[in-house]
Structure 1
């Protein structure tokens, strides 16, 4: 691949669109080589390109280019508890996880590539009860630090995303000055990007820039659950 070529090509979305229309094991088996050449290997290339820049941002976030336990999420859907039994995901999901992610529910970064939408996310999506309690306590203890981190992720194309409780969480007063943030079920900053961004040779650098922009949020969330960022 030359320096003026992007890591992904238009074949990425062509494959995902066809997979959505033919989401069967039989079709995927016939097109497995396309998946490996147009999706999996470029995704590994992206992970490898992001890795050195991510290490400059945080020594605790990981970029792993391996088939099992790596940054590229599995193409196979978990259909055990879903009414939708189609076997394959029709998006590419790449996660840059905290080194302690296997031990605790840790914040992370996420890149989503799909025919219908592309976005980057940073933070903690639907944390477990223990992590959620940690985030709420940290917001209560350091409201000014949280507000600065949150507000930085609500400008210049960023938005804070996720559902909130309808009522105040247990043990918290509805009159608390930070009650709308304490109601959050997720603490994640998201920004959409155009599909063609994946074809840009600067895409890895753009991902690194987004990681830098959300560093205050990630630092706050990691600290809230006892992790270094």
Structure 2
């Protein structure tokens, strides 16, 4: 994957974020998109060797649209400043997301503001066995890789059905259960970039498995 060409394209796109510019450069975009899909296919195959429960996700299925959803976000520019995709994308499971962009390059995973039924199941899982999740979050290598849970809106008080003195009340207040690992742009160009992706994926795996188990109970 020619990531330098991808960054050049995204830089130009953000300077000329319009349908007219995209139409004039659509051949460039399609070439990069196809190359990114092939790179995702290779990454997907590599990561499928890591464990038996990996859910194969072809690049064409995993890649996100470059258009912003202006119906829900009318003030955003027409086009995004990154290429993004989800891998290991089993239905109704915790995400594993990769983003290569001009403002940030990252890996993320978990549930971002899940619908109420899934959120309730996760909270019930924490109520039943919050100790396991806390142990995952407190693991030194996990904290080094991700820090804390992704900062998002939280409830002020205990969610319905739970008490304010619950031992894991701060976890229960979360509306999003996700973690993020940021890459420096220079890391993307390094020969071991895919190896770093694998390492982050494996570090995240116990967290995603916990969420998946809780969400499906």
After TM superposition, the score normalised by the length of structure 1 is 0.86
Which deviations, in whole Å up to 9, do the C-alpha atoms of 1:65-93 show, x marking residues without a partner? 22xxx111011221112232632112111
Distance 1:82 1:96, change over 3 A: same
* More displaced stretch, 86-95 vs 134-143: 86-95
Name the residue aligned to 1:3.
Answer: none
Give structure 1 regions of 4+ aligned residues with deviation exceeding 4 angstroms: none
After TM superposition, the score normalised by the length of structure 2 is 0.90
For residues 115-134 of structure 1, the aligned pairs below 5 Å read 115-134=102-121
Which deviations, in whole Å up to 9, do the C-alpha atoms of 1:128-175 show, x marking residues without a partner? 101101111111111221112222375213122032212211111111
Gaps of 5+ in 1: 1-6
Name the residue aligned to 1:96.
Answer: 87
Name the residue aligned to 1:23.
Answer: 17
Distance in 1 (CA, whole Å) between partners of 2:80 and 2:73 is 13
Name the residue aligned to 2:150.
Answer: 161
Distance in 2 (CA, whole Å) between partners of 1:146 and 1:85 is 36
Q: Which has the higher contact order (CA 8 A, sep 6+)?
A: 1
Distance in 1 (CA, whole Å) between partners of 2:58 and 2:38 is 10
Q: 2:71 pairs with 60, 66, 80, which one?
A: 80
Name the residue aligned to 1:71.
Answer: 62
RMSD: 1.8
Name the residue aligned to 2:42.
Answer: 49
Name the residue aligned to 1:174.
Answer: 164
Distance in 2 (CA, whole Å) between partners of 1:158 and 1:190 is 6
State the secondary structure of the residue aligned to 1:142: helix
Gaps of 5+ in 2: none
Q: 1:207 pairs with 197, 202, 206, which one?
A: 197
Q: Name the one with the larger helix percent.
A: 2
How many residue pairs get aligned? The number is: 213
